[in-house]
Structure 1
Amino acid sequence: MDWHAWHDAYDLPDSGLARRLRVVQERTQVALDGSPPGPLTVISLCAGQGRDLLPVLAGHPRRDDVRARLVELDPRNATIAQDMVTASGMDRVEVMTADAALTDHYRGMAPAGIVLACGIFGNITDEDVERTIGYCSQLCATGGTVIWTRHRSAPDRIPLICDWFEERGFERQWLSDPEVGFGVGVHRFTGRPDPLAEGERMFTFIGRQALQAGPAGNGISGEGL
Protein backbone atom coordinates (compact mmCIF):
# COMPACT_ATOMS: atom_id res chain seq x y z
CA MET A 1 0.00 0.00 0.00
CA ASP A 2 1.25 3.46 -0.93
CA TRP A 3 0.24 5.36 2.21
CA HIS A 4 1.12 8.68 0.65
CA ALA A 5 -1.26 8.17 -2.30
CA TRP A 6 -3.87 6.76 0.11
CA HIS A 7 -4.27 10.27 1.51
CA ASP A 8 -5.49 11.57 -1.86
CA ALA A 9 -9.04 10.48 -0.97
CA TYR A 10 -9.10 13.14 1.75
CA ASP A 11 -9.24 15.73 -1.03
CA LEU A 12 -12.43 14.24 -2.49
CA PRO A 13 -15.20 15.92 -0.46
CA ASP A 14 -17.68 13.04 -0.75
CA SER A 15 -15.23 10.21 -0.06
CA GLY A 16 -15.55 8.14 3.08
CA LEU A 17 -12.16 9.34 4.27
CA ALA A 18 -13.08 13.00 3.78
CA ARG A 19 -16.36 12.57 5.65
CA ARG A 20 -14.63 10.71 8.45
CA LEU A 21 -11.92 13.38 8.63
CA ARG A 22 -14.51 16.10 9.16
CA VAL A 23 -15.97 14.18 12.08
CA VAL A 24 -12.55 13.50 13.63
CA GLN A 25 -11.66 17.18 13.34
CA GLU A 26 -14.96 18.16 14.97
CA ARG A 27 -14.28 15.76 17.86
CA THR A 28 -10.73 17.05 18.17
CA GLN A 29 -12.08 20.59 18.40
CA VAL A 30 -14.49 19.48 21.14
CA ALA A 31 -11.68 17.76 23.04
CA LEU A 32 -9.48 20.85 22.86
CA ASP A 33 -12.39 23.07 23.94
CA GLY A 34 -13.17 20.80 26.89
CA SER A 35 -9.65 20.26 28.21
CA PRO A 36 -8.72 21.94 31.51
CA PRO A 37 -6.88 25.25 31.30
CA GLY A 38 -3.09 25.23 31.30
CA PRO A 39 -0.54 23.09 29.48
CA LEU A 40 -2.01 20.29 27.36
CA THR A 41 -0.19 17.35 25.80
CA VAL A 42 -1.46 15.69 22.61
CA ILE A 43 -0.13 12.59 20.89
CA SER A 44 -1.17 11.21 17.51
CA LEU A 45 -0.38 7.61 16.53
CA CYS A 46 0.03 6.80 12.83
CA ALA A 47 -0.50 10.49 12.26
CA GLY A 48 -0.21 10.42 8.47
CA GLN A 49 -0.11 13.97 7.14
CA GLY A 50 -1.43 15.38 10.40
CA ARG A 51 -4.85 16.24 9.03
CA ASP A 52 -6.73 15.00 12.11
CA LEU A 53 -5.04 17.53 14.39
CA LEU A 54 -2.98 20.23 12.67
CA PRO A 55 -5.70 22.21 10.80
CA VAL A 56 -7.78 22.29 14.00
CA LEU A 57 -4.91 23.25 16.28
CA ALA A 58 -3.55 25.94 13.95
CA GLY A 59 -6.59 28.16 14.46
CA HIS A 60 -7.54 27.13 17.99
CA PRO A 61 -7.32 29.51 20.99
CA ARG A 62 -5.50 26.77 22.95
CA ARG A 63 -2.72 26.28 20.38
CA ASP A 64 -0.07 27.91 22.56
CA ASP A 65 -1.03 25.66 25.48
CA VAL A 66 -0.51 22.50 23.43
CA ARG A 67 2.62 20.43 23.18
CA ALA A 68 2.07 17.71 20.60
CA ARG A 69 3.91 14.79 19.05
CA LEU A 70 2.78 13.20 15.79
CA VAL A 71 4.38 9.84 14.99
CA GLU A 72 4.31 8.65 11.37
CA LEU A 73 6.43 6.03 9.61
CA ASP A 74 6.07 7.20 6.00
CA PRO A 75 8.63 10.00 5.48
CA ARG A 76 6.61 11.62 2.68
CA ASN A 77 3.58 11.96 4.94
CA ALA A 78 5.72 13.14 7.83
CA THR A 79 7.25 15.83 5.61
CA ILE A 80 3.81 17.14 4.66
CA ALA A 81 2.85 17.27 8.33
CA GLN A 82 6.09 19.07 9.21
CA ASP A 83 5.55 21.59 6.42
CA MET A 84 2.10 22.36 7.86
CA VAL A 85 3.59 22.77 11.34
CA THR A 86 6.27 25.12 10.03
CA ALA A 87 3.86 27.17 7.92
CA SER A 88 1.54 27.63 10.90
CA GLY A 89 4.34 28.51 13.31
CA MET A 90 3.41 25.78 15.77
CA ASP A 91 6.83 25.42 17.38
CA ARG A 92 5.53 23.20 20.20
CA VAL A 93 4.42 20.51 17.74
CA GLU A 94 6.89 17.75 16.89
CA VAL A 95 6.60 15.41 13.91
CA MET A 96 8.54 12.19 14.44
CA THR A 97 9.26 9.90 11.49
CA ALA A 98 9.15 6.57 13.28
CA ASP A 99 7.11 3.43 13.97
CA ALA A 100 4.04 4.58 15.90
CA ALA A 101 3.57 1.11 17.38
CA LEU A 102 6.61 1.38 19.64
CA THR A 103 6.02 2.71 23.15
CA ASP A 104 9.45 4.37 23.33
CA HIS A 105 8.32 7.02 20.86
CA TYR A 106 5.90 8.46 23.43
CA ARG A 107 8.46 8.90 26.18
CA GLY A 108 8.17 12.35 27.69
CA MET A 109 4.67 12.84 26.27
CA ALA A 110 2.57 10.19 28.03
CA PRO A 111 0.24 10.37 29.78
CA ALA A 112 -1.38 12.86 27.43
CA GLY A 113 -4.56 14.89 27.64
CA ILE A 114 -5.63 13.92 24.11
CA VAL A 115 -4.65 10.74 22.25
CA LEU A 116 -5.51 10.33 18.57
CA ALA A 117 -5.64 6.72 17.35
CA CYS A 118 -7.21 7.20 13.93
CA GLY A 119 -6.77 4.96 10.90
CA ILE A 120 -5.24 2.17 12.99
CA PHE A 121 -7.92 -0.25 14.17
CA GLY A 122 -9.02 -1.08 10.62
CA ASN A 123 -5.47 -2.10 9.72
CA ILE A 124 -4.53 -4.44 12.56
CA THR A 125 -5.86 -7.73 13.93
CA ASP A 126 -8.58 -7.87 16.57
CA GLU A 127 -5.99 -9.10 19.06
CA ASP A 128 -3.83 -6.08 18.39
CA VAL A 129 -6.81 -3.73 18.64
CA GLU A 130 -7.49 -5.02 22.14
CA ARG A 131 -3.79 -4.90 22.99
CA THR A 132 -3.50 -1.28 21.80
CA ILE A 133 -6.52 -0.26 23.85
CA GLY A 134 -4.75 -1.75 26.84
CA TYR A 135 -1.78 0.53 26.19
CA CYS A 136 -4.13 3.52 26.02
CA SER A 137 -4.25 3.40 29.83
CA GLN A 138 -0.54 4.26 29.71
CA LEU A 139 -0.79 6.85 26.96
CA CYS A 140 -3.79 8.75 28.35
CA ALA A 141 -3.91 10.93 31.47
CA THR A 142 -6.73 10.74 33.99
CA GLY A 143 -9.59 12.71 32.47
CA GLY A 144 -7.90 12.61 29.08
CA THR A 145 -9.59 11.79 25.78
CA VAL A 146 -8.92 9.10 23.21
CA ILE A 147 -10.35 9.68 19.73
CA TRP A 148 -10.32 6.56 17.57
CA THR A 149 -11.71 5.23 14.29
CA ARG A 150 -12.71 1.91 12.78
CA HIS A 151 -14.69 0.92 9.69
CA ARG A 152 -18.20 -0.56 10.00
CA SER A 153 -17.76 -3.37 7.47
CA ALA A 154 -18.54 -6.90 8.62
CA PRO A 155 -17.57 -8.04 11.09
CA ASP A 156 -18.49 -4.75 12.80
CA ARG A 157 -16.10 -4.54 15.74
CA ILE A 158 -17.27 -1.14 17.01
CA PRO A 159 -19.37 -2.58 19.88
CA LEU A 160 -16.47 -4.82 20.90
CA ILE A 161 -14.00 -1.94 20.76
CA CYS A 162 -16.28 0.10 23.01
CA ASP A 163 -16.44 -2.84 25.45
CA TRP A 164 -12.65 -3.13 25.48
CA PHE A 165 -12.24 0.55 26.28
CA GLU A 166 -14.91 0.50 28.95
CA GLU A 167 -13.45 -2.59 30.63
CA ARG A 168 -10.24 -0.61 31.09
CA GLY A 169 -11.62 2.45 32.81
CA PHE A 170 -12.69 4.52 29.81
CA GLU A 171 -16.08 6.21 29.65
CA ARG A 172 -17.84 6.54 26.32
CA GLN A 173 -18.31 10.22 25.46
CA TRP A 174 -19.45 10.03 21.86
CA LEU A 175 -19.92 7.51 19.05
CA SER A 176 -20.81 8.15 15.41
CA ASP A 177 -24.10 6.84 14.05
CA PRO A 178 -23.77 3.44 12.35
CA GLU A 179 -25.65 4.83 9.34
CA VAL A 180 -22.75 7.09 8.33
CA GLY A 181 -20.75 4.04 7.24
CA PHE A 182 -17.66 4.57 9.39
CA GLY A 183 -16.94 4.59 13.09
CA VAL A 184 -15.50 7.45 15.14
CA GLY A 185 -15.43 7.03 18.90
CA VAL A 186 -14.45 9.22 21.82
CA HIS A 187 -13.61 7.75 25.22
CA ARG A 188 -12.54 9.55 28.40
CA PHE A 189 -10.11 7.85 30.78
CA THR A 190 -11.38 7.77 34.36
CA GLY A 191 -8.62 5.60 35.81
CA ARG A 192 -5.07 6.26 36.88
CA PRO A 193 -2.51 5.85 34.09
CA ASP A 194 0.02 3.05 34.35
CA PRO A 195 3.67 3.92 33.77
CA LEU A 196 4.63 3.81 30.11
CA ALA A 197 6.24 0.46 29.31
CA GLU A 198 9.65 0.65 27.68
CA GLY A 199 10.63 -1.14 24.50
CA GLU A 200 7.26 -2.68 23.73
CA ARG A 201 5.27 -3.00 20.52
CA MET A 202 1.58 -2.15 20.81
CA PHE A 203 0.52 -3.49 17.41
CA THR A 204 1.69 -4.67 14.02
CA PHE A 205 0.30 -2.53 11.20
CA ILE A 206 -0.78 -5.06 8.57
CA GLY A 207 -2.93 -2.96 6.25
CA ARG A 208 -6.33 -3.33 4.68
CA GLN A 209 -5.38 -5.50 1.72
CA ALA A 210 -3.44 -8.04 3.76
CA LEU A 211 -6.23 -8.28 6.30
CA GLN A 212 -8.82 -8.82 3.60
CA ALA A 213 -6.67 -11.57 2.12
CA GLY A 214 -6.51 -13.39 5.47
CA PRO A 215 -8.17 -16.79 6.00
CA ALA A 216 -11.97 -16.59 5.99
CA GLY A 217 -13.59 -16.48 9.37
CA ASN A 218 -10.54 -15.38 11.33
CA GLY A 219 -12.06 -12.01 12.23
CA ILE A 220 -9.42 -9.96 10.50
CA SER A 221 -10.80 -7.68 7.87
CA GLY A 222 -10.42 -3.99 7.29
CA GLU A 223 -10.88 -1.05 5.02
CA GLY A 224 -8.35 1.31 6.54
CA LEU A 225 -11.05 3.44 8.12
Structure 2
Amino acid sequence: MTKNWAQWHEDYDNPNSWLAQRLEIVQRDLRRALVHAPCDPDGTRRLISICAGEGRDVLPVLADDDHGYAVRALLVELDQNLSQRARTTAATLGLSNVEVATADAGEVEVYRSVTPAHVIMACGVFGNISSDDIQRTIATLPVLLTVGGIVIWTRGLLDNGYDPSLEVRRCLEKHGFAELSFSSPAGSRNRVGMHQLSAHPAYAAPVHSCTRIFDFL
Protein backbone atom coordinates (compact mmCIF):
# COMPACT_ATOMS: atom_id res chain seq x y z
CA MET A 1 0.00 0.00 0.00
CA THR A 2 1.33 3.42 -0.95
CA LYS A 3 2.04 5.60 2.07
CA ASN A 4 -0.04 8.77 2.43
CA TRP A 5 2.83 11.24 2.62
CA ALA A 6 0.57 14.26 3.07
CA GLN A 7 -0.93 12.62 6.17
CA TRP A 8 2.55 11.58 7.35
CA HIS A 9 3.66 15.22 7.30
CA GLU A 10 0.90 16.16 9.73
CA ASP A 11 3.05 14.84 12.59
CA TYR A 12 5.28 17.87 12.14
CA ASP A 13 2.48 19.92 13.73
CA ASN A 14 2.67 17.91 16.96
CA PRO A 15 5.55 19.43 18.98
CA ASN A 16 6.01 16.16 20.87
CA SER A 17 6.33 13.98 17.77
CA TRP A 18 9.61 12.45 16.64
CA LEU A 19 9.29 14.37 13.38
CA ALA A 20 9.05 17.72 15.15
CA GLN A 21 12.02 16.80 17.33
CA ARG A 22 14.06 15.79 14.28
CA LEU A 23 13.08 18.96 12.47
CA GLU A 24 14.49 21.10 15.26
CA ILE A 25 17.87 19.35 15.00
CA VAL A 26 17.96 19.48 11.21
CA GLN A 27 17.13 23.19 11.11
CA ARG A 28 19.81 23.89 13.71
CA ASP A 29 22.38 22.04 11.64
CA LEU A 30 21.28 23.79 8.45
CA ARG A 31 21.81 27.20 10.06
CA ARG A 32 25.32 26.11 10.92
CA ALA A 33 25.95 24.76 7.42
CA LEU A 34 24.83 28.03 5.84
CA VAL A 35 27.54 29.81 7.78
CA HIS A 36 30.41 27.35 7.35
CA ALA A 37 29.87 25.87 3.88
CA PRO A 38 31.83 27.38 0.99
CA CYS A 39 30.08 29.90 -1.23
CA ASP A 40 30.36 31.62 -4.60
CA PRO A 41 32.41 34.84 -4.87
CA ASP A 42 29.25 36.90 -4.38
CA GLY A 43 28.44 35.05 -1.15
CA THR A 44 25.66 32.89 -2.58
CA ARG A 45 25.36 29.25 -1.56
CA ARG A 46 23.60 26.66 -3.70
CA LEU A 47 21.40 24.19 -1.81
CA ILE A 48 19.73 20.95 -2.87
CA SER A 49 16.98 19.27 -0.85
CA ILE A 50 16.39 15.66 -1.87
CA CYS A 51 12.82 14.37 -1.35
CA ALA A 52 12.01 17.77 0.13
CA GLY A 53 8.37 17.17 1.04
CA GLU A 54 6.77 20.45 2.08
CA GLY A 55 10.16 22.08 2.55
CA ARG A 56 9.87 22.34 6.31
CA ASP A 57 13.56 21.53 6.81
CA VAL A 58 14.66 24.39 4.59
CA LEU A 59 12.15 27.16 3.95
CA PRO A 60 11.72 28.58 7.48
CA VAL A 61 15.51 28.72 7.86
CA LEU A 62 16.00 30.57 4.58
CA ALA A 63 13.30 33.04 5.59
CA ASP A 64 15.10 33.88 8.86
CA ASP A 65 15.55 37.66 8.54
CA ASP A 66 18.00 37.74 11.45
CA HIS A 67 20.61 35.96 9.33
CA GLY A 68 19.87 37.05 5.78
CA TYR A 69 21.17 33.90 4.10
CA ALA A 70 22.04 34.31 0.41
CA VAL A 71 20.94 30.95 -0.97
CA ARG A 72 19.82 29.62 -4.32
CA ALA A 73 17.86 26.49 -3.49
CA LEU A 74 16.36 23.60 -5.41
CA LEU A 75 13.81 21.46 -3.60
CA VAL A 76 12.91 18.21 -5.35
CA GLU A 77 9.70 16.38 -4.44
CA LEU A 78 7.73 13.89 -6.54
CA ASP A 79 4.39 14.18 -4.71
CA GLN A 80 2.44 16.95 -6.45
CA ASN A 81 0.49 18.01 -3.37
CA LEU A 82 3.60 18.29 -1.21
CA SER A 83 5.65 20.09 -3.85
CA GLN A 84 2.84 22.58 -4.40
CA ARG A 85 2.68 23.24 -0.66
CA ALA A 86 6.42 23.90 -0.68
CA ARG A 87 6.06 26.19 -3.70
CA THR A 88 3.24 28.13 -2.02
CA THR A 89 5.19 28.46 1.23
CA ALA A 90 8.29 29.70 -0.60
CA ALA A 91 6.23 32.33 -2.41
CA THR A 92 4.49 33.39 0.81
CA LEU A 93 7.86 33.81 2.53
CA GLY A 94 9.20 35.83 -0.38
CA LEU A 95 11.90 33.29 -1.24
CA SER A 96 12.32 34.13 -4.92
CA ASN A 97 15.59 32.18 -5.18
CA VAL A 98 13.90 28.90 -4.26
CA GLU A 99 12.82 26.54 -7.03
CA VAL A 100 10.55 23.61 -6.22
CA ALA A 101 10.67 20.85 -8.82
CA THR A 102 7.93 18.24 -8.96
CA ALA A 103 10.27 15.51 -10.09
CA ASP A 104 11.88 12.17 -9.23
CA ALA A 105 14.71 12.89 -6.78
CA GLY A 106 16.38 9.62 -7.78
CA GLU A 107 17.28 11.07 -11.17
CA VAL A 108 20.59 12.97 -11.11
CA GLU A 109 19.66 15.11 -14.11
CA VAL A 110 17.14 17.09 -12.04
CA TYR A 111 19.98 18.64 -10.01
CA ARG A 112 22.11 19.84 -12.93
CA SER A 113 21.04 23.51 -12.68
CA VAL A 114 22.46 23.93 -9.16
CA THR A 115 25.53 21.68 -9.18
CA PRO A 116 28.02 21.73 -7.73
CA ALA A 117 26.02 22.54 -4.62
CA HIS A 118 27.40 23.88 -1.36
CA VAL A 119 24.78 22.20 0.86
CA ILE A 120 22.71 19.06 0.30
CA MET A 121 19.79 17.98 2.48
CA ALA A 122 19.16 14.22 2.49
CA CYS A 123 16.59 14.05 5.28
CA GLY A 124 14.03 11.27 5.30
CA VAL A 125 15.79 9.59 2.37
CA PHE A 126 18.00 6.79 3.72
CA GLY A 127 15.17 5.19 5.68
CA ASN A 128 13.10 4.77 2.52
CA ILE A 129 15.58 3.32 0.03
CA SER A 130 17.48 0.04 -0.16
CA SER A 131 20.91 -0.52 1.36
CA ASP A 132 22.46 -0.70 -2.11
CA ASP A 133 20.79 2.58 -3.06
CA ILE A 134 22.06 4.23 0.13
CA GLN A 135 25.60 3.33 -0.87
CA ARG A 136 25.02 4.47 -4.45
CA THR A 137 23.53 7.78 -3.30
CA ILE A 138 26.40 8.49 -0.93
CA ALA A 139 28.90 7.63 -3.66
CA THR A 140 27.16 10.17 -5.91
CA LEU A 141 27.13 13.02 -3.37
CA PRO A 142 30.73 14.07 -4.23
CA VAL A 143 29.57 14.47 -7.82
CA LEU A 144 26.86 16.90 -6.73
CA LEU A 145 28.90 18.84 -4.13
CA THR A 146 31.80 21.25 -4.28
CA VAL A 147 34.83 20.47 -2.11
CA GLY A 148 34.01 21.69 1.38
CA GLY A 149 30.31 21.22 0.72
CA ILE A 150 28.12 19.91 3.51
CA VAL A 151 25.48 17.19 3.55
CA ILE A 152 22.88 16.91 6.31
CA TRP A 153 21.17 13.52 6.56
CA THR A 154 18.86 11.50 8.80
CA ARG A 155 18.38 7.81 9.55
CA GLY A 156 16.18 6.46 12.31
CA LEU A 157 16.77 3.60 14.74
CA LEU A 158 14.99 0.36 13.74
CA ASP A 159 12.31 -1.36 15.81
CA ASN A 160 14.73 -4.16 16.71
CA GLY A 161 17.19 -1.67 18.18
CA TYR A 162 19.67 -1.81 15.32
CA ASP A 163 21.17 1.55 14.39
CA PRO A 164 21.68 1.76 10.59
CA SER A 165 23.18 5.24 10.92
CA LEU A 166 26.46 3.49 11.74
CA GLU A 167 26.61 2.15 8.19
CA VAL A 168 25.76 5.56 6.74
CA ARG A 169 28.58 7.19 8.69
CA ARG A 170 31.09 4.57 7.57
CA CYS A 171 30.02 4.93 3.95
CA LEU A 172 30.32 8.73 4.07
CA GLU A 173 33.83 8.44 5.48
CA LYS A 174 34.74 5.98 2.71
CA HIS A 175 33.67 8.51 0.08
CA GLY A 176 35.66 11.46 1.31
CA PHE A 177 33.47 13.02 4.00
CA ALA A 178 34.51 14.21 7.45
CA GLU A 179 31.95 14.19 10.23
CA LEU A 180 31.11 17.65 11.60
CA SER A 181 28.38 16.53 14.00
CA PHE A 182 26.18 13.59 14.85
CA SER A 183 23.04 13.93 16.97
CA SER A 184 21.42 10.97 18.71
CA PRO A 185 19.16 12.40 21.44
CA ALA A 186 18.68 10.20 24.51
CA GLY A 187 15.48 8.17 24.34
CA SER A 188 14.93 9.04 20.66
CA ARG A 189 15.20 7.05 17.45
CA ASN A 190 16.32 10.18 15.61
CA ARG A 191 19.80 10.27 14.14
CA VAL A 192 20.97 13.41 12.34
CA GLY A 193 24.41 13.72 10.80
CA MET A 194 26.31 16.57 9.19
CA HIS A 195 29.33 15.72 7.04
CA GLN A 196 31.70 17.83 4.95
CA LEU A 197 33.34 16.73 1.71
CA SER A 198 37.08 16.88 2.31
CA ALA A 199 38.09 16.14 -1.28
CA HIS A 200 36.64 14.70 -4.44
CA PRO A 201 37.48 10.99 -4.62
CA ALA A 202 39.66 10.10 -7.61
CA TYR A 203 36.94 7.76 -8.89
CA ALA A 204 34.12 10.34 -8.79
CA ALA A 205 32.34 10.38 -12.14
CA PRO A 206 31.21 13.61 -13.83
CA VAL A 207 27.59 14.52 -13.16
CA HIS A 208 26.51 13.95 -16.77
CA SER A 209 27.63 10.31 -16.61
CA CYS A 210 25.40 9.50 -13.61
CA THR A 211 21.76 8.70 -14.16
CA ARG A 212 19.69 7.08 -11.43
CA ILE A 213 20.84 6.83 -7.81
CA PHE A 214 17.86 5.42 -5.90
CA ASP A 215 14.27 4.23 -6.00
CA PHE A 216 11.99 5.29 -3.19
CA LEU A 217 10.40 2.24 -1.55
Q: TM-score, normalised by structure 2?
A: 0.90
What's the CA shift for 1:155?
3.1
Question: Which segment is superposed worse, 33-42 or 125-134?
Answer: 33-42
The amino acid of 1:204's aligned partner reads D
1:207-218 matched pairs, under 5 angstroms:
none
Q: Which residue number corresponds to residue 219 of structure 1?
A: none
Report the Cα distance in structure 1 between the residues aligned to 2:68 and 2:139, rounded to whole angstroms: 29
Report the Cα distance in structure 1 between the residues aligned to 2:14 and 2:128, rounded to whole angstroms: 22
Q: Which residue number corresponds to residue 48 of structure 1?
A: 53
1:32-181 matched pairs, under 5 angstroms:
32-36=34-38, 38-60=43-65, 61-63=67-69, 65-153=70-158, 154-177=161-184, 179=186, 180-181=188-189
Question: Which segment is superposed worse, 24-33 or 36-45?
Answer: 36-45
- Aligned pair partner of 1:201 in 186, 192, 212: 212
The amino acid of 2:214's aligned partner reads F
What's the CA shift for 1:141?
1.1
The amino acid of 2:97's aligned partner reads R
* Superimposed CA distance per residue, residues 117-174 of structure 1 (whole angstroms, 9 cap, x where no aligned partner): 0001001111111111011111111001000000111432111110100011000000
Cα distance change on mapping 1:198 and 1:83 into 2, 3 Å: farther
Is the CA contact (8 Å cut-off) linking 1:41 and 1:113 kept in structure 2? yes
Q: Does 1:190 align with 2:198?
A: yes
Q: Does 1:31 align with 2:33?
A: yes
Identity %: 40
Report the Cα distance in structure 2 between the residues aligned to 1:108 and 1:125, rounded to whole angstroms: 27
Partner secondary structure for residue 29 of structure 2: helix
Is the CA contact (8 Å cut-off) linking 1:104 and 1:198 kept in structure 2? no
Is the CA contact (8 Å cut-off) linking 2:31 and 2:61 kept in structure 1? yes
- Please tell me the root mean square deviation across aligned C-alpha atoms, in Å: 1.4
* Superimposed CA distance per residue, residues 69-90 of structure 1 (whole angstroms, 9 cap, x where no aligned partner): 0000001101110111101111
Partner secondary structure for residue 106 of structure 2: coil
Report the Cα distance in structure 1 between the residues aligned to 2:94 and 2:68, rounded to whole angstroms: 14
Any unmatched runs of 5+ in structure 2?
none
What's the CA shift for 1:110?
1.4
Report the Cα distance in structure 2 between the residues aligned to 1:41 and 1:194, rounded to whole angstroms: 20
Partner secondary structure for residue 52 of structure 1: coil
Is the CA contact (8 Å cut-off) linking 1:103 and 1:200 kept in structure 2? yes
Question: After TM superposition, where is structure 1 displaced by more than 6 Å over at least 4 residues in a row?
Answer: none
Report the Cα distance in structure 2 between the residues aligned to 1:111 and 1:59, rounded to whole angstroms: 24
